[in-house]
Amino acid sequence: MPHQPKDTVGLNDMSIIALAKATGLPLVSMESSAGNSPKFKRIPDICALDQIVHLDFNSFLRQEGIKI
């Protein structure tokens, strides 16, 4: 298996992103964007490219009206 940098998405992440796109549901993760890196992408970056709604966990709780 080829070496994969830690700062980019892998097969598991791409499967999760594909599921969100196929279902039309937001993707909730604790990842933040890799910024403007031309080499590395993270879940929020791929979601932005594919117009998939990405929420961090706290934003998801707020959106759903869940208070802890």
Region 15-26: what's the mean pLDDT? 97
Dihedral angle computed from the Cα positions of residues 9, 13, 14 and 18, in that order, rounded to the nearest 10 degrees: -150
- Give pLDDT, residue 9: 78
C-alpha to C-alpha distance for 46 and 13, rounded to whole angstroms: 10
* Mean of pLDDT over the chain: 90
pTM over 0.75: yes
pLDDT at 65 over 90: yes
C-alpha to C-alpha distance for 30 and 24, rounded to whole angstroms: 19
